[in-house]
Amino acid sequence: MSTATYTLVNFISFGDWLTYAAIRLDHPRVYCFSSLSIFSSSSSCAMTSTHDIDKSATPDERRGLLLNVDDIDVVQPDLEEQPTSPATSHKRKRFAGFSVLLSLILAATLFELWPRTRYDTRVGRDALYSNGTHEFKKTVLMVSIDGLRADYLDRGLTPHLLDISREGLRAKYMKPVFPTLTFPNHWSLMTGLYAESHGIIANDFWDPVFRDTFHYARVESAQNPSWWLGEPMWETAERAGIVTANLMWPGPWSTSSGVNSTYFLPWENNYALEKKLSNLLEWIDLPLEERPQLILGYEPSLDQAGHATGPMSKAVNVSVVSNSLIDALILTRYLPQMSLAAVDLFARNLTQALGERNLTHIVDIIFVSDHGMTDTSHPTWVYVDEIVGQPWKGVTRVDGWPSMGLRFAPGTNVTEALERLYEYTLTYPDQFDVFTTESFSTDPGTSLVDLNAFNYGKMSAGTVEPMPERYHFSRNYRIAPVWIVPRVGYALTDRTDGENGMSTGVSLPYHISYCLISVL
C-alpha cells in the first residue's frame, strides 16, 4: 500500500539554502534538479525516505541529507590561497551573477509548475492532492467480485486484471472464513471478525433469541442492524469524520450503534455493470467536501453464473471475442456480464476512467473476493433424514447450506441421532463430517440424558468431535448444536427437499479465492 514519502529539495544560491519540502502519500520517488551556486555547479538530488539514501555517501554527505539545512556547515573557500587575476575575478563575478539569476528563475518556475500535492504539508486524511484541475484527498476504492476463484485469472480471460496486478500487488490466495458463504465472508471483510463473533453465521439461519429467521434476500432481516454484530470499517471511518460510500456491499445501511454510510445504494438484482461503474465515478466526481474517501462496491453476477452452471461452464468462461458468447446466452439465459471477461472489462473501464481523470496516484483500488467455487454438477446425494431415522422427526430447524445445522425439539433422542450419524461416517468416511458446537449444551432441544451420553462417552458408537477450533465456528447461540459438513463431491439433502435448490457450483471450506491490490 501507499507509504508517506518526504521529499526534500534543496536549491543552493548565494551561500544560503532555499529549502522546499513536499509530503506525499505515494510510492517513494526521487526528484533531481540542477543546482547552481556561487561556489559550485553540480547536480543535486532530492531526499526521499531514509532507506533510499545512497549508502556510498560519506558520513558528512549523509548528515547533509538527513539533517535540517540550518545544521549543515557550508565550507567557505579560502580566497587568499587561490590568487586570481582581475580578469578572472571579473569573470567569476559575472558567472556568480548568472548563477544567482538562473537559480531564482529555476526556483520561480518550479514554484509555479510544482503540483500542489508536492508542497501541501498536511498529512493523513487531511492531506490534499491535485489531479491538475481539482483537489482530492487520498481515496480507497474496494470492489468485491463474488465467487472469483484464484485460478480464474489463469484462464486467459482476464488480461486487464492481470495487468493491474502487475502494476500493483497480487496475493496468491485468500483463505475465507467458515462457512464459505457470501454474507458471512463479506461481513468478515468489513469487521475483521469470524462468523461466530459477528453473528452472520450463514446466508440464512434461525436465531433462538429473536425467534426469527435471517435470510439474506429479505429486506426486513438483511437491513435490520440488530442481526449484524461488530463494527464495519465504514463505521470506523465515519466516526473519524471520513465520508464513505457503499454500493450494494452485503450488510445493513445502518449499524446497531446507529452509524451509516454517507452514501448507500441498496441491493438490486441484475444491476448492470455499466451502471455500477457510473455510480462509482459519480461519487469520485463529487466536490471535495462531499466526496467519499472510502468507497465499497459489490458485484455478484460471476458467483450467480457459477452457482447456476458451474465454474467450468460457458457462462463463466465465455470470451467476449468468441462466438461462444451467443451460445452461452442461449444455453444459460443469463446476461453477458455474468462472465470472467465481463468483470475483467469492468475492471479495465474503472482503472481507465481513473487514469483519464489523472487519479491513479490518488485513488487506490482493491479487488477482492469472498470465496472460491468447485464443480458439483454431478454430486452424490446424501439423504440425512434416512441416516438419522426416527429422531429426524424431532428436527425443528435446518440451518445453512451446503452444510446442515440441526436443531431438535425438546424430548428428541439427540443421542440416537448422533450415534447414527457417527456410525455412518465410520462406514463412509469420505462423505461428510459431523460436529457439535458450544450451543449443544445450552440448546433447549438437548436433554440432560443426551448431554450425559455425549459428555461421558456413553454413546455406543463412539464420540462425535466438537467443531474444529480452526473453523472458529462454535461460540454463538445462533450456531445450531449439531453441524454436518459435506466433503467435496457430496451434497446433503433430505427427502423433503430432494434435489431442489442444489446448485452446480458450491463454495468450499478453505477454498482459495482472489485478492488483488492495485496501487496505481
Looking at the domain assignment, is residue 260 inside a domain? Answer: yes
Q: Is the pLDDT of residue 66 over 80?
A: no
Task: Kindly give, in sequence order, each residue whose CB lies less than 8 Å from that of residue 394, ignoring residues fewer than 6 positions away.
Answer: 408, 409, 411, 412, 413, 414, 417, 445
Pair 397, 423 in one domain: yes
Place of cell 487531511: 126
CATH code for position 424: 3.30.1360.180
Pair 265, 360 in one domain: yes
284-298 pLDDT per residue, tens: 999 999 999 999 999
CA distance 228 to 258: 12
Dump the DSSP string for 415-471: HHHHHHHHHHHHH-TTTEEEEE-GGGGT-TTS-HHHHHHHHTT--SS--PEEPPGGG
458-488 pLDDT per residue, tens: 566 567 788 999 999 999 999 999 999 999 9
Look up residue 314 and give its three cell numbers. 460457458
Residue with more model confidence, 284 or 115:
284
Flag the least confident range among 11-15, 86-90, 410-414, 456-460: 11-15
CA distance 28 to 23: 11
Angle formed at CA 170 by CA 169 and CA 173, multiple of 5 degrees: 150
Task: Give the Cβ contact number of residue 272 at 10 Å.
Answer: 12
pLDDT at 182: 95
Looking at the domain assignment, is residue 126 inside a domain? Answer: no
Pair 96, 212 in one domain: no
pLDDT at 319: 53
| Catalytic-role residue among 7, 117, 139, 182 | 182
pLDDT at 322: 40
Looking at the domain assignment, is residue 129 inside a domain? Answer: no
CA 119, distance to chain mean position in Å, is 31
pLDDT at 4: 33
Closest CA to 473 of 252, 222, 177: 177
Flag the least confident range among 91-100, 158-167, 199-208, 248-257: 91-100
Pair 25, 174 in one domain: no
Looking at the domain assignment, is residue 133 inside a domain? Answer: no
Look up residue 417 and give its three cell numbers. 441421532
Residue with more model confidence, 470 or 505:
470
What's the first-to-final CA gap in the chain, in angstroms? 10
Q: pTM score, two decimals?
A: 0.71
Pair 358, 477 in one domain: no
Element (H, E) at 376: none
Helices 340-356 and 301-309 pack at an angle, to 10 degrees, of 170
User: What is the 3-state composition of the chain as percent helix, strand, coil, each rounded to the nearest 5?
Assistant: 35, 25, 40
pLDDT at 206: 94
Closest CA to 453 of 409, 410, 416: 416
Q: Is the pLDDT of residue 260 over 80?
A: yes
Pair 100, 227 in one domain: no
Task: Yes or no: say if 340 and 158 are a contact pair by the CB < 8 Å rule.
Answer: yes
Q: Which range in 48-52, 282-286, 448-452, 458-462 is most confidently predicted, on average pLDDT?
A: 282-286
Closest CA to 174 of 144, 195, 197, 154: 144
Looking at the domain assignment, is residue 128 inside a domain? Answer: no
- As for how many domains the chain has, the answer is 3
Q: Is the pLDDT of residue 123 over 60?
A: no
Q: Is the pLDDT of residue 248 over 60?
A: yes
CA distance 8 to 65: 9
Please, which pLDDT band fits residue 410 given cuts at 50, 70 and 90? confident
Q: Is the pLDDT of residue 30 over 80?
A: no
Average pLDDT, the chain: 74
356-396 pLDDT per residue, tens: 999 999 999 999 999 988 888 788 999 999 999 999 999 99
Please give the share of the chain, as a percent, with pLDDT higher than 90: 46
Dump the DSSP string for 215-284: ETT-HHHHT-GGG--S--HHHHHHHTT--EEEES-SS-SB-TTS-B-SEEE---TT--HHHHHHHHHHHH
Helices 301-309 and 324-332 pack at an angle, to 10 degrees, of 70
Flag the least confident range among 50-59, 289-298, 491-500: 50-59
pLDDT at 415: 87
Q: Is the pLDDT of residue 504 over 50?
A: no
Domain range holding 103?
3-121
182 flagged as catalytic: yes
Residue with more model confidence, 106 or 237:
237
Pair 343, 405 in one domain: no
Closest CA to 472 of 420, 445, 435: 435
> How do beta strands 16-26 and 505-506 pair?
unpaired
As beta bridge partners, residue 213 has 206
Please, which pLDDT band fits residue 35 given cuts at 50, 70 and 90? very low
Pair 184, 283 in one domain: yes
Pair 59, 171 in one domain: no
Pair 86, 157 in one domain: no
Looking at the domain assignment, is residue 135 inside a domain? Answer: no
Looking at the domain assignment, is residue 127 inside a domain? Answer: no
Closest CA to 280 of 288, 262, 292: 292
Task: Kindly give, in sequence order, each residue whose CB lies less than 8 Å from that of residue 28, ignoring residues fewer than 6 positions away.
Answer: 3, 5, 48, 49, 52
pLDDT at 22: 28
Please, which pLDDT band fits residue 101 given cuts at 50, 70 and 90? low
Task: Yes or no: say if 438 and 444 are a contact pair by the CB < 8 Å rule.
Answer: no
Q: Looking at residues 42-51, what average pLDDT do you find?
A: 31
Please, which pLDDT band fits residue 454 given cuts at 50, 70 and 90? low
Q: Is the pLDDT of residue 6 over 50?
A: no
Pair 222, 350 in one domain: yes
Looking at the domain assignment, is residue 177 inside a domain? Answer: yes
Pair 359, 462 in one domain: no
Angle formed at CA 512 by CA 424 and CA 509, multiple of 5 degrees: 25
Residue with more model confidence, 101 or 27:
101
Dump the DSSP string for 90-118: HHHHHHHHHHHHHHHHHHHHHHHHS-GGG
CATH code for position 358: 3.40.720.10
Task: Give the Cβ contact number of residue 340 at 10 Å.
Answer: 26
pLDDT at 234: 96
Q: Is the pLDDT of residue 1 over 70?
A: no
Flag the least confident range among 48-62, 262-276, 405-419, 460-474: 48-62
**CB-count burial class (<10 Å; 0-12, 13-18, 19+) for 483:** buried
Q: Looking at residues 147-157, what average pLDDT do you find?
A: 89
